[in-house]
């Protein structure tokens, strides 16, 4: 059973039919274990405003932004009550049913990686949940990272070109090569489909 990491863009949390759309996408990889990394969206935007108003340094802002992902994860857990929250690869391995979507506690996962001196991600605004999901996909030996976004991926863009257009964060091109396969899905499409992204 392969592990597939899904990065759920925070802007998608306002979709009224988000749960149905998520389930439809997960059904496209029925034999794989799904690990969902929920992005920041408007919750993280509040942290950006705080960082300016209170002159927070980038490390402080980074950890507050990471903490904001927990609020969004709680919403997705409510929308997908069949999901299970995990904070480590060991937690994930204890889930024997591949049909149970796993929701990652990103803060707990990254803090553990920091204590073990395994995390190489910079603590700055260039690193968002895009890069965090790619790093986790690599660290957990996922076979695929699926980016669930609010827009399509125009043309045959490289990771660097997509970063330059703001479709992924600036650090993403540095971590994406560590993932065997990266795919893209516009979750706002009428019938969302996972499409390979060679990058």
Give the DSSP H or E segment for 69.
helix 58-79
Measured in degrees and rounded to the nearest 5, phi and psi for residue 143 equal -85, -20
Q: In 10 A of CB 38, how many CB atoms? A: 28
Residues in the chain: 199
Q: What domain range includes position 131?
A: 3-196
Give the Cα separation of 67 and 174 in Å (integer).
Answer: 23
Q: What is the dihedral of CA 26, 30, 36, 42, to 10 degrees?
A: 0
Rounded CA separation 82/169 (Å):
30
**Span 103-118, pLDDT tens digits:** 999 999 999 999 999 8
Angle at 29 (CA atoms; ends 27, 33), nearest 5 degrees: 105
Domain count, the chain: 1
Tokens of 42: 């408007």
Question: Looking at residue 119, which CATH number applies to its domain?
Answer: 3.40.1160.10
Predicted TM-score (pTM) of this structure: 0.95
pLDDT in tens, 83-104: 999 999 988 888 866 789 999 9
Q: What is the pLDDT of residue 199?
A: 74
Tell me the per-residue pLDDT of 6-59, one tens digit each, with 9 for 90 and over: 999 999 999 999 999 999 999 999 989 999 999 999 999 999 999 999 999 999
> Residue 36: enclosing H or E segment and its boundaries?
strand 33-38
The proportion of the chain whose per-residue pLDDT surpasses 70, expressed as a percent, equals 99
> Which candidate, 102, 98, 92, places its Cα nearest to that of 6?
102
């Amino acid at each position: 059973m392969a592990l597939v990491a899904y990065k759920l863009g925070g802007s998608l949390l306002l979709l009224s039919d988000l749960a149905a759309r998520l389930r439809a996408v997960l059904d496209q990889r029925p034999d794989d274990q799904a690990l969902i990394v929920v992005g920041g969206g408007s919750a993280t935007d509040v942290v950006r405003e705080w960082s300016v108003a209170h002159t927070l340094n980038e490390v402080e802002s980074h950890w507050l932004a990471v903490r904001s992902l927990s609020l969004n994860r709680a919403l997705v857990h409510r929308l997908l009550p069949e999901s299970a929250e995990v904070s480590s690869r060991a937690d994930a391995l204890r889930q024997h049913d591949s049909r149970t979507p796993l929701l990652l506690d990103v803060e707990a996962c990254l803090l553990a990686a920091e204590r073990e001196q395994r995390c190489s991600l910079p603590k700055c605004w260039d690193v968002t949940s895009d890069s965090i999901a790619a790093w986790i996909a690599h660290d957990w030996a996922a076979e695929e990272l699926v980016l669930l976004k609010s827009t399509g991926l125009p043309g045959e863009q490289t990771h660097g070109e997509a970063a330059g257009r703001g479709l992924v964060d600036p650090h993403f091109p540095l971590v994406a090569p560590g993932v065997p396969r990266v795919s893209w899905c516009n979750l706002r499409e009428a019938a969302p489909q996972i499409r390979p992204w060679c990058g």
